[in-house]
Amino acid sequence: MVLGAIGNALDDIIRIAVPASAAGLRAASIAGIIIG
């Protein structure tokens, strides 16, 4: 049960973190283009 709860929490974190990191990379590349 504990491992299942940890797995569900990790799934939630991954679902949130992946789009957030992708958006961060996109924002950084856009900022790099503007600055450069």
Domain extents in the chain:
1-36
- Whether the pLDDT of residue 1 is over 80: the answer is no
As a whole number of angstroms, the distance between CA 11 and CA 18 comes to 11
Indicate the SS3 state at residue 36.
coil
Give the position of tokens 């950084």.
28
- Whether the pLDDT of residue 8 is over 80: the answer is yes
Average pLDDT of the chain to the nearest whole number: 95
Average pLDDT over residues 21-35: 96
Question: What percentage of the chain has pLDDT greater than the value 70?
Answer: 100
pLDDT, residue 17, reads 96
Average pLDDT over residues 15-21: 95
